[in-house]
């Protein structure tokens, strides 16, 4: 069963920005897209870059190293060099806190 864990305050991530947080053994990247928060695995499946440091454009994140792109809502990879997507985690906002559901 998955449990929603508080990972950050909404104030910690400015609109149009991302930030990575450790949650147990996972490193999760949270993005603020026009006030909507998304959570994905921070590690790019191509060669391990931190996606939280990537380029946010619309609802997509571009890897800062070799520019693979992922859709934040689904984790789907949109183009090479990545050959697979990233895990997406459900996000809840409660009392100004960002909660992420991990299994």
The residues binding ligand FES (CB under 6 A) are 44, 46-49, 63, 65-66, 68, 81-82
Measuring CA to CA, which residue among 78, 26, 89 is closest to residue 54? 78
Tell the smallest beta-carbon distance from residue 55 to ligand FES (Å).
Answer: 11
The CA-CA-CA angle for residues 55, 38, 28, to 5°, reads 80
Tell the smallest beta-carbon distance from residue 65 to ligand FES (Å).
Answer: 4
Tell the smallest beta-carbon distance from residue 47 to ligand FES (Å).
Answer: 4
DSSP at 43: B
Looking at the Cβ atoms of 5 and 74, the one nearer to ligand FES is 74
For residues 30 and 53, give the distance between their C-alpha atoms in angstroms, rounded to a whole number: 11
Output the six-digit token pair for 53. 């440091």
Count of CB atoms within 10 A of residue 13's CB?
Answer: 19
Looking at the Cβ atoms of 30 and 63, the one nearer to ligand FES is 63
Looking at the Cβ atoms of 13 and 68, the one nearer to ligand FES is 68
């Amino acid at each position: 069963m998955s449990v929603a864990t508080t990972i950050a305050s909404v104030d910690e991530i400015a609109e149009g920005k991302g930030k990575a947080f450790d949650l147990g053994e996972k490193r999760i990247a949270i993005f603020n897209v026009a006030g909507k928060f998304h959570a994905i695995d921070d590690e790019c499946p191509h060669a391990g870059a931190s996606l939280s440091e990537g380029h946010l454009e619309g609802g997509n994140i571009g890897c800062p190293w070799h520019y693979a792109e992922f859709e934040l809502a689904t984790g789907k990879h949109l183009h090479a060099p990545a050959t697979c997507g990233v895990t997406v985690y459900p996000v809840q906002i409660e009392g100004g806190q960002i909660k992420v559901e991990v299994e």
